[in-house]
Amino acid sequence: MILKICGITNQEDATAAVAAGATAIGFNFYPPSPRYISPERAADIVTPAGVRRVGVFVNEDPARVEEIARIASLNVAQLHGDEPPSEYPARLDVWKAVRVTGGLDLLACENSPADALVLDGPAGELYGGAGKTFDWRLATVLTKPIIVAGGLDASNVAQAVALTHPWGVDACSRLESAPGKKDHQKMSEFLRAAREALGA
């Protein structure tokens, strides 16, 4: 079960996330993002054994993804660009992000070689999440492990879980006081609600 807090940029937020029950934290290595963190800074953020360290990438060369993974001690590459399976990094678990819109054939994603799909809300021309939810009922066609993202917080995560029966949930922007800075109370409330909804 995945309880992921994404967009971590500092030790204080990482420590608070893990203390509140996060089982995964995400570092954004996409330079245009307001939550971008360098691999070296991410390496300095300490997490306990057993907490997945997830790197968010957009159309990055797979060799560079693997290099960053070594530097920052990543377990997972979460790919948010247009990466075909031939460009997935070979030495990491891969979670492929999918923007769920009304015109998307989610069943076409079922055969993805990724270990899991991160279902995110629409973001227009932007890469990565935009803090918007999607119609969670669309996810019911999938049997592959899914992580629900996009506009989640304590107020709606139980409904998202009830409709999608996911492997996990992922939240970022709605838990912030500013881009890259988490509101620890909102984070704690979200993780508590998510844990209860997932039966953890």
Kindly list the catalytic residues.
Answer: 6, 120
> In Å, what is the CA distance from 172 to each residue of 6, 29, 90, 110, 164?
5, 15, 27, 25, 19
Cβ atoms of 12 and 44 closer than 8 Å? no
> In Å, what is the CA distance from 154 to each residue of 6, 43, 87, 175, 197?
15, 29, 35, 9, 10
In angstroms, the CA 144 to CA 158 distance is 20
In angstroms, the CA 198 to CA 29 distance is 29
In angstroms, the CA 44 to CA 83 distance is 28
Cβ atoms of 131 and 173 closer than 8 Å? yes
Cβ atoms of 60 and 82 closer than 8 Å? no
